[in-house]
Structures are given as C-alpha cells and as structure tokens.
Amino acid sequence: MLKFILKKLLAMIPMLLLISMIVYFGLQATGIDPINFLVSPDVLSANAANVEALRESLGLNDPLIVQYFRWLGNVVTGNLGYSFDGSSIAATIAVRLPYTFELAGWSLLLSAVIGVGIGIISAIRQNGIIDYVGRVLAVLGQAVPQFLVGIILIQIFAIKLGWFPSANRVSPGAANPLADAFFHLFLPVLTLTIGMVAVLMRYARNTMLDVLNSDYIKTARSKGIPEWKVYLKHGFRNAMKPVLVIILFRIPMLVGGSVVIESVFSYPGIGLTMTNAITSGDYPVVLITTLIIAAAMLVCSFMVDVLNALLDPRVRLGE
Amino acid sequence: MSVKKSGIKEQNKSASASLMKKNLRKFFNNKLAVVGLVVILVMVAACIVGALMHVDYNTPDLRNMKSAPSALHWFGTDTIGRDLFARVLYGGCYSILIGVFCAVASNIIGAALGAVAGYFGGKTDKIIVRISEVFQAFPQLVLVMMIVAIVNRRGLSNLLFIFVVTGWMTTFRMVRNEYLSLRGETYVKVCEAFGMSNSRIMFGQILPNVMTPIIVSTTTNVAFFILQEAALSFIGLGVADSTPTWGNILNAAKSVAVVTNQWWIWVFPGAAITLFVLAINFFGDGLRDVLDAKQQ
C-alpha cells in the first residue's frame, strides 16, 4: 500500500512539470510583451536603446528555455513573481486562495450531506413525495446554468429581500468577522451546493436502491433486524463507498463551477483572479493560478486513487 | 443455394425492420422523451426561421432602450436598445450550432482515438491515455479558459476549436474500454484470421457494436457544450459580443443594475437555455432506454 501511494505521489511531479511547460510556452506564444506593462508607449518609442537595456537586464532576451527554468526555480523556492500591475503574486494568492477553499469546502460539505441525505431518503421511500420532488429538482438542477441560479438568488435574497450582500467576501469595518464571513459566503455556497446536490442526489439514490435490492438486505430483514438498523447499518454503510468516490470525483466540477460563481458574486477568490488575469492579459498571474488549480486537481485524483485502493484491493493488485 | 442465401437476407431485413418498429414504439411510449424531441424541433425551427427572415438583432432602437416586453418588442430590448426576441432567436442559432458541432466533432475524435487505443493496446494505448490524462488534470472550464488565454482572440471558430480539443476525453475513455473488451471476442479473431485490414476491423466490424453509447453521449454532450458556452460567455471569455449567443446575451446580467431593473434581459435567454438543455436531457434519456441493449 505504501509503495502504491509513493508511486502515485511521484507520478504527480512529471505531470505538474509538463503542465507548467505547456502553459508557460503557450502563454509566451501569445506575443504579449511584458515591457508594454512597464513602460508607457510614448516613452517606449523615444528611448529604444534604454528599453533594450531594460530588456537585457530583465532577462527577456534569453532563450525561452532559460527563462522557463529561471521562472521554475523561482516558483519552487517560493518566489511566485509579480503581476503586471506590480503587486506580488504570492501576497495576492495568500489572501485569495483561502477564500476559494472556504467557498469550495463548504459547498462540498453541504452538498455531500444534503445530496446523500435526500438520495438515501428517496431510495428508502421510493416513489414517495421526497423522491418525486428530489428527482424533479435533480433534473432541473442539471439543466439550469449555474450562474443563472446565482443571478436568481441575488435577485431574491440580495436585492428583493436584502438579507445578504450580492458581492465581495469581506465588508470593510465589519464588527464580527465570523458573521461577516457567513453573510458573504451564504449565497455563493448555496449556488454551488444546488448544482452539486442535483448530481449527488441521483447517484446516492441509485446506489442505495441497488444495495437495498441485494440479497443480504433481505437476509437481514428476515432475521428480524429492525428496519432503521437495516437501512443504517447494512444499507448505508455499503452504499457509502461508491458515493464517497463520486463525491471526490466531483471536485473538479466544483472548482470549474466556482470559477464562474466567483465571477457572478464578484467573490475575490482564485477563480476571479484567473478570469481577470485572462481578460487583461496578465500572464504571470494566469500561469500561477492555472498551476494551483492543476495541482489541486492532481491531489484530488490522487485521493480518489488511494481511496479506491483502500476500498477495493483488486485495484492495488492490478497496478 | 442462392435462394437460401437471399432468404436469410430477407429474414435479416424483416427482423431489423421489426426491431426498428419496436424501438420506435418504445420511444414514443416514453412521453418525456417525445416532449423533449418536440421542444427541440420547435426551438430549432424557430431559430432557423428567425435567421432566414433576417430578423434585425443588431440595430439599436434608440427610442426604446431597456424597454420592458411590449407588442413592439416581444421580449423587450437590452441595455443599448437591441430587440431581445431577435437576439434570442439568432443566439439560439449560434448556441445550438456550437453545441451540435462541438458534440459531433469531439465525439468523432474521442471515438477514433478510443478505437485506436483500445484496439492496438500496448504503447499506442499508453501514449494516448497519458495525453488524455494531461487534459483531464484540469476542470474542463479552466482548461478552456487557459487556451482562451493562449489563443488570445475571441471568435466563433476559436471557441469551436477549443471546445473540440478539450471535449473528447469522456467519449475516448468509454470507447476505449468497449474496444478493450470487444477485441477479445471471437468474431474479431475470425476477421483477423480472414486477413482483414486493421482499419476495416476497427471501423467496419467493431464500431457498429459501440455506436449506441456514442450516439447517446453525443446527444447529451450537445447540452453540455451549450451550458459550457453560456458559462464562458457569461464571464466574458466566450465569443465576441458582436455575435449573439444565449450566453452572450446573459453577459449583460453581470451588472447588478440589470439584474435588479431589467428582468427580461436575463429571464428570456436563461429560460431558452434551460428549456433546450432540459429537452435534450429528456430526449437523450429516452434514446438511451431504447438503444441500450443491456437494459432490454
């Protein structure tokens, strides 16, 4: 098992390197010249010689491959570089990454609890009211674009009712930071949760139905075990494994969704940072943000692999 | 001998005709799927008729900016006075075109690569699987955004290209698995023994057996790409604003003022997307029920 984990961990390194290379050289090919962000155009044309010296001193005339490894060395030693507007990327990330973790983490937790809960109830009471409502909501939840859900929630809760703010993560001079966080997180988390619940609910329901129709459940029932115990101890525990894997599998969807949702709610996380950087052509920031997201995704798929191996020994043996 | 042979052929023909009839009956018994199909057809027809009639989606009506739905402008007008009904119709053309084109093209690529990887196995398989893993290291939307940053131009053809390049992995995995398991079947061995060329076995003999899941996933992918385009255009990284798509029209709803005061600007395109995606999902589910042999 340890060997398996180590092997998977080591496999992540070349993957990250490859991704960083693709993004780095890809972005170089866009032809955005960092000099244009440093020097105003009229100065640029007047002082061609000075600009050339500046270029040389910044290392912009070196071959691309040299520039790449210099950048990589800096990133590995923790120097993430500077955005085109001059601010330190590391400082920006340090503030914004936790915001995205809050958003994605709470959404994951809530949607797991609600989605699995509703899924299991609707499997136990198949064709009951909760099952019916749940299925309709699942179908709708997959058809309405997530950002539209966000807009509708803003319209209702932020504008009509005025209960929650429609944008940002912190309000200046808030008396209670915890309450402030709750109010700002509520709507974006709710939006992401609705989308995730729609998927998870359907899956949890089908898995639980499969389990409930299996022979050992009938055996358990025929032994006279109380119904709630049959569901919880025999059904739920066995249905949990595949559901857990699917929850982890959905994290990329959550991250992709949070990029859009951060834009809807002007929520200053990694996703919004990346969107703005792309729009303004700020490629040092694009580089770092995509790498962070790629690393997060690799860690997730690593966790899925390990979890799979833990739950199912055949996976380990097959490797 | 020849009489007998044609007899078998006719039998086969009548058998497939009756299977077709059975499938059609099964499909038409599924009410949701039929409703889905009807909604799809009506919306596509409306969009095409709108485009053929050259409804004016681009000229602002300066006297009626931000006006609510009325007899003059059925869906109202947007922030600079363009007629929303015309824009939703034209946007439908583009959105549906994007969805259908990308779904078909990416599924063809995914199926071809999956066939090659699954059939040949070994090194070829390893390389293609590695490539698909690199692509899958990203959430698709982030991957699309990254390539948008690299391509650095907002255009319809760029968007189509990006979606196709980033959208083939799920089909690839599915088709590859099917080929891996079908490669061991006796009929494939027989074809090999006959000396049939690899490409004929792959695409002439095995492919028909994998067609069902490919068709179903193409259908549902149309919905996926339409949603994807909408999300991308909404955050401002999709097609340029001069080309209306459902997502582009919704882009106006990024401003809180529009969300608050001009509900019609986001409600109509939003409803169009939702309705169309819903219809495709129902239709796709119905198609799966009919075609999936495992369920029968």
Q: Are B92 and B222 in contact (CB under 8 A)?
A: no
Left (φ > 0), alpha (ψ -120 to 50) or beta: where does A88 sit? beta
Torsion of CA B131, B133, B137, B140, to 10 degrees: 80
Q: Which of A19, A263, A290 sits opposite B134 (nearest CB)?
A: A19
Q: Is the pLDDT of residue B111 over 90?
A: yes
Q: What is the 3-state secondary structure (H, E, C) of chain B?
A: CHHHHHHHHHHHHHHHHHHHHHHHHHHHHCHHHHHHHHHHHHHHHHHHHHHHCCCCCCCCCHHHCCCCCCCCCCCCECCCCCEHHHHHHHHHHHHHHHHHHHHHHHHHHHHHHHHHHHHHCHHHHHHHHHHHHHHHCCCHHHHHHHHHHHHCCCCHHHHHHHHHHHCCHHHHHHHHHHHHHHCCCHHHHHHHHHCCCHHHHHHHHHHHHHHHHHHHHHHHHHHHHHHHHHHHHHCCCCCCCCCCCHHHHHHHHHCHHHHHHCHHHHHHHHHHHHHHHHHHHHHHHHHHHHHCHHHC
Share of chain A residues as helix, strand and coil, in percent rounded to the nearest 5 = 80, 0, 20
Question: Quick one: tokens of A248?
Answer: 């982890």
Q: Which helix (H) or strand (E) holds A1?
A: none
Give the residue from A229, A289, A233 showing the smallest Cα distance to A99. A289
Flag whether pLDDT at B296 surpasses 60.
no
Given an 8 Å threshold on Cβ–Cβ distance, is A148 in contact with B150? no
The pLDDT of residue B225: 92
Q: Is residue B295 predicted with pLDDT exceeding 60?
A: no
Tens-digit pLDDT profile for residues B215-253: 888 988 899 899 988 888 888 888 877 788 888 888 877
CA distance A223 to chain B (A): 33
Which chain B residue lies closest to A251 (C-alpha atoms)?
B139
Alpha-carbon distance B243 to B264, whole Å? 20
The SS3 assignment for A157 reads: helix
Q: Is the pLDDT of residue B160 over 50?
A: yes
Query: In chain A, whose CA is at the least distance from the CA of B282?
Result: A139
pLDDT of B44 strictly over 70: yes
Token output for A291: 């790498």
Separation of alpha carbons B275 and A309, rounded Å: 41
Interface with chain B: mutation pick from A147, A251, A255, A291, highest number of B CBs within 10 Å:
A147
Length of chain B: 296
Give the angle subtended at the CA of B213 by the CAs of B207 and B219, to the nearest 5°.
120
Instruction: Please name the member of B138, B149, B281 whose beta carbon is closest to the beta carbon of A278.
Output: B149
Q: Which helix (H) or strand (E) holds A233?
A: none
Q: Which pair of structure tokens corresponds to residue A1?
A: 């098992």
- Assessment of whether the complete model's pTM goes beyond 0.90: no
Taking all residues of chain A, what is their mean pLDDT, rounded to a whole number?
79
Amino acid type, A243: V
Give chain A's residues under pLDDT 50: 319
pLDDT at B71: 67
A-B contacts (CB, under 8 Å): 125
Residue among B140, B149, B277 whose CB faces A143 most closely: B277
Q: What ipTM goes with this model?
A: 0.77
State the best of A13, A151, A206 to mutate against chain B, taking most chain B CBs within 10 Å.
A151
B4 falls in which pLDDT band (50, 70, 90)? low
Which amino acid appears at position B85 of this protein? F
Average pLDDT in the B13-33 region? 80
Average pLDDT over residues B69-78: 72
> What's residue A208's pLDDT?
82
pLDDT at B294: 56
List pLDDT tens digits, range B198-213: 888 888 888 888 888 8
DSSP 8-state symbol, A225? -
Rounded Cα distance between A150 and A127, Å, is 30
So what's the pLDDT on residue B108?
94
